Amino acid sequence: MTEASPAARPSDRGAHGTTLLAGAPRRATDTPAGVGPNLMRRVLRHHAKGVAVITAGAENPAGFCATSLTSLSLDPPLLSFTVGLHTSSWATVESAPHVMVHLLAQGQEDIARRFGGSGPAKFGPGTRWHRGAFGLPVLDDVLGWLALAPVSRLPVGDHALVIGQVVSARHIADGGPLIHHDGGFVRLAPPAGRAW
Ligand SMILES: Cc1cc2nc3c(=O)[nH]c(=O)nc-3n(C[C@H](O)[C@H](O)[C@H](O)COP(=O)(O)O)c2cc1C
């Protein structure tokens, strides 16, 4: 069994059962002994996530596959995602006035793989896309999209946490979502009595 960290002592617990940090404050740049990227990947592969593709670049299109998308607030409408500081997408997202978040549908595994790698082929033949709101690259055949105006870009370890206000959005279809789980793409069965 691989342990990430010792259990918190009772005295480390706050009023609502939250765990307080004991001792010296931790720095976000520290990697605690034994909690490397491999352990992170091994544990987090159980955390099934919907698959998004995030694009930017009103002139030169950039985009990457992302499972870090999180809904933060409905009113005002805020989303967040993280983007690797080493990616070429970050060079565009870092200063982009707007970015486009796409929610992928079942059957878009090829798009997810293409945007999950590195290479110029992302917007080449095989990717159906057009220019949409704010001149952003918009992928076709997705379940919906949300255009964000970034309000914060915060370095977090080897990624940047981007918080964006939703300035435009479109619901396109009610199909099944594409899910990433255990290192692969999987499909959800529709709810009982319904078809996608
Ligand atoms: C399923 C899946 C989810 C991913 N989620 C993220 C993510 O949330 N943030 C991120 O920075 N990279 C994520 N990646 C990796 C990026 O998609 C990949 O590094 C990016 O395409 C790099 O390309 P670029 O250098 O052209 O930007 C994910 C990859 C896959 C396959």
Whether the CB-CB separation of 185 and 179 falls below 8 Å is answered with yes
pLDDT digit string, tens, across residues 144-196:
999 999 999 999 999 999 999 999 999 999 999 999 999 999 999 998 998 88
Which residue's CA lies nearest to atom 7 of ligand 1? 66
As beta bridge partners, residue 31 has: none
Domains and CATH numbers, the chain: 51-128+144-181 (2.30.110.10)
pLDDT the model gives residue 23: 59
pLDDT digit string, tens, across residues 16-47:
544 445 556 677 778 888 899 899 999 999 99
Mean pLDDT of 45-74: 96
- Using a 6 Å CB cutoff, which residues line ligand 1? 51, 64-68, 81-84, 87-89, 115-118, 159, 180
Strand, helix or coil for residue 173: coil
Cα gap 10→32, rounded to integer Å: 21
Tokens of 80: 């967040």
pLDDT digit string, tens, across residues 88-136:
999 999 999 999 999 999 999 999 999 999 876 899 998 999 999 999 9
pTM tops 0.85: yes
Most ligand 1 atoms within 8 A of CB, residue of 53, 54, 87 to mutate: 87
